[in-house]
Amino acid sequence: MTRFHKEKDPNLTDESLVAPSRNRLRIEIKKRHRIELKEQSAIAGIECFALAGIWVLAGNSSGAGETIAAGNTGCSMAREWTGIQQFPLATQTKLLELLGTLKEKERDSLTILVMGKGGVGKSSTVNSILGERAVSVSAFQSDVPRPVMISRERSGFTLNIIDTPGIVEGGYVNDQALDLIKRFLLNKTIDVLLYVDRLDSYRVDNLDRQIVKAITESFGKEIWRKGVVVLTHAQLTPPDCLGYDDFFARRSNAVLKVVDSGARFKKQDALGDAIPVVLAENSSRCNKNDNGEKILPNGTVWIPNIVETITNVATNESKSILVDQKLIDGPNANERGKGFIPLILAFQYFFVIKQFQKWIKDDIAKEPKSSWE
Ligand SMILES: Nc1nc2c(ncn2[C@@H]2O[C@H](COP(=O)(O)OP(=O)(O)O)[C@@H](O)[C@H]2O)c(=O)[nH]1
Ligand SMILES: [Mg+2]
């Protein structure tokens, strides 16, 4: 007969000291499991709280709120950027050089927002840049349901990358998904926007325009001055005997035109060539050079290239975008529609008040005169 010893297991009840039936055994196991789960979550909660406290006290420049809010998990800290060691030595050297450049320009953190349609390779690009599988990627249900911020720290420099779900559903921009992203970004400062699409798409359509318009309306058109267009699936053989660079140039122009029109810049302010376009190939089958670095058909070593472009845009003369409530509410939210007030008043005067006055006058004229008048 099996007996449970109370002194060895304080979680057991007196009943469990007698030989347990199968059912009772099952109940005890469940009970113990529940207690363990409670204890684990309590410990995890304390750990989160303690870590958050340390982070706030440390006064990290990336903003405690930002990193703790990461992925709304409630407990995600800027971990050491160990993924950098996965890169070939030549890439590591270049990346560390770029971090050095940023530090020279007194930047100790960088926040990158990644947006675009679903399934174009946003999450894969985040993972490629970090050198680790930080966010989930899937061919079919490819999107994380909500934004996630991944923070990595290296030699006193913090890299924050915000991966977002695609904002398109059933052929339209999904306002709820967009709202979720906006709320997530509230009080964060965006240094670079990566607008991701595929190189191997042959046309742009109205949906692309809608997405660019939605980004513009959400964060203001100035966000595009911090924009980089990333074209994934870059290891391809162009169709119709086109050269690779030719194909790349045509596709870039098509996407940039959409951005220009969706961002509604006036002709003289048009972004044109101002937005850099970079290529990415996230597949593990990407070709490599003699140093083991991933290279594209035009010879570009794409990871250092994208990080260099990000560095240039982050430090260009345009200001980073602080996503505050005013920005989210849109330009002059309180003023919206005020221009119509004089028109409405005029309409009311001529078509309502005047009409009433006329009816009253007519009624008075038609009224039979009283005998005493
Ligand atoms: N061949 C190739 N596949 C890619 C590339 N980028 C992403 N994928 C694949 O495309 C699918 C969707 O990628 P994901 O990163 O989840 O897209 P997201 O929805 O934009 O985040 C996954 O199956 C990825 O493996 C790329 O550059 N080349
Ligand atoms: Mg994704």
DSSP symbols for 176-202: HHHHHHHHHHTT-EESEEEEEEETT--
C-alpha 112/C-alpha 150 separation (Å) is: 10
Q: Which two tokens stand for residue 15?
A: 């009943």
pTM listed for this prediction = 0.72
State pLDDT tens for residues 220-259.
989 999 999 999 999 999 988 889 999 999 999 999 999 9
Give the amino acid at 312.
N
Neighbours of ion ligand 2 (CB under 5 A): 122-123, 143
Instruction: Compute CA distances 192 → 115, 154, 157, 212, 318, whole Å.
Output: 11, 19, 16, 15, 11
Tell whether ligand 1 has an atom less than 6 A from the beta carbon of residue 101.
no
Residue 19 has pLDDT above 80, yes or no: no
C-alpha 62/C-alpha 81 separation (Å) is: 15
Q: Are 228 and 278 in contact (CB under 8 A)?
A: yes
Among the listed residues 184, 219, 191, the one whose alpha carbon sits nearest the alpha carbon of residue 108: 191
Q: Give the ligand 1 atom nearest the CA of 234.
A: 27
Higher local confidence (pLDDT), 271 or 222 = 222
State pLDDT tens for residues 93-146.
999 999 999 999 999 999 999 999 988 999 999 999 999 999 988 777 655 578
Smallest CA separation from ligand 1 atom 3, residue: 283
Beta-strand (E) ranges in 274-368? 277-279, 321-322
